[in-house]
Amino acid sequence: MHIIGEVITNLFKNRVLTLTSIFSIILMLILVGVFGVFLLTLSYNSEYMDDMLEIRIFINPEADDYRISAVEDSLIKDGRIEYIAYISKEQAFEDVKKIYDKEILEGLGPDFLPASYTVRLKEDVDADNFVSFAENLRDVYRVDFHQRSFDFAANLSNWVNIVAGSLSVLLGILSLFLVSNTIRLTMAGRSDEVIIMKFIGATEARIKKPFILEGVTIGFIGALIASLIMSFAYSKFFDWFGAEGSTEVFLAGLRLVPVRESVLLIYLAFFGISIVLGMLASQMAIRRHLKV
């Protein structure tokens, strides 16, 4: 118990540097958090992102079965397709019924919907090229392809990962030095105590313990505050893009990770990272400035 009191007193004595250290850790962790959220979102969406690579080709509703199968023939003959599935008007209508209220659909039959093909291309096929080929087929009135939003999402997350990743590494290094400096100052303030400890026969471990604990405490406080900020910010973010209370929220074609699922992992990482950082910083200060 004594030692915890010691640690808090010493950190309070150097509160300006202590706060700066904590602040820098918070900043670093939040960047790590952003980085983490993107990684989690990507892995959460990996299955769904695969679906995005499918191309949906809608057939003119006026086309009869013969003309529809002509479209299919052209698509298959083209040779770039790995997989093709036909969705009839009836099937499309069944799908729509699952989503919309019966009242809205009252009086409507399958005829108002187009039949369509879902197509997946072989690897290394230029999708844009294929899309314009399909668009120009007779009786094709629309081609849906999400490649662009997929690319956008992938690109965005790539950039976020690079920027957040390198910034958090930089901030990590900065935090390391700041925490180490804080510990060095508390050490300087207690050089007498260290000398006394030495000649009364305190072990090296006992002499170092309060300094290590100081580093760990700074890290712990930083992680705690960063977790609170992160949890608040992410749930706000989640609510902002989705209806209140909704569990499925989309942004730029990506499904956001539900608040609880994502963030627990990130908090664990926060505490892990910052406590290890605090210990490393203390070790650094001890190695440089404490002669036991």
Partner 1 sequence: MINFSNVTMVYRSGCEALKNIDLSIARGEFAFVIGPSGSGKSTMIKLIMKEEEPTGGELFVNGQDIRDIHRYETPYFRRKIGVVFQDFKLLKNKTAYQNVAFALRMTNTKPRQIRKMVPQLLSVVGLLDKSNEYPAEMSGGEQQRVALARAIAHNPDLLIADEPTGNLDPDTSLEIMNLIYKINQMGTTVLVATHDKTIVDAFRQRVIVLHDGRVVRDVPEGRYGV
Per CB under 8 A, residues contacting partner 1 are 2, 192-193, 195-204, 206
Sign of CA dihedral 164, 168, 174, 178: positive
- CB nearer to partner 1: give 195 or 264: 195
- CB nearer to partner 1: give 99 or 200: 200
- CB nearer to partner 1: give 109 or 189: 189
Q: Which 8-state DSSP code applies to residue 254?
A: E
Amino acid at 19: L
In whole angstroms, the minimum distance from the beta carbon of 214 to partner 1 comes to 17
Q: Which residues contact 183 (CB under 8 A, 6 or more apart)?
A: 211, 214, 215, 281, 282, 285, 286
Q: Which residues contact 278 (CB under 8 A, 6 or more apart)?
A: 179, 214, 215, 216, 217, 218, 219, 220
Q: How far is CA 225 from the centre of its chain?
A: 19
- CB nearer to partner 1: give 49 or 187: 187
Would you put residue 58 in left (φ > 0), alpha (ψ -120 to 50) or beta?
beta
| Cβ pair 208, 292 in contact under 8 A | yes
Considering only CA atoms, give the Rg of the chain: 30
- CB nearer to partner 1: give 142 or 206: 206
- CB nearer to partner 1: give 275 or 290: 290
In whole angstroms, the minimum distance from the beta carbon of 196 to partner 1 comes to 6
In whole angstroms, the minimum distance from the beta carbon of 209 to partner 1 comes to 10
| Cβ pair 274, 25 in contact under 8 A | yes
Sign of CA dihedral 14, 15, 16, 22: positive
Give the integer Cα–Cα distance in Å for 178 and 181: 5
In whole angstroms, the minimum distance from the beta carbon of 191 to partner 1 comes to 11
In whole angstroms, the minimum distance from the beta carbon of 193 to partner 1 comes to 6
In whole angstroms, the minimum distance from the beta carbon of 208 to partner 1 comes to 12
In whole angstroms, the minimum distance from the beta carbon of 283 to partner 1 comes to 17
Q: Which 8-state DSSP code applies to residue 201?
A: T
- CB nearer to partner 1: give 1 or 16: 1
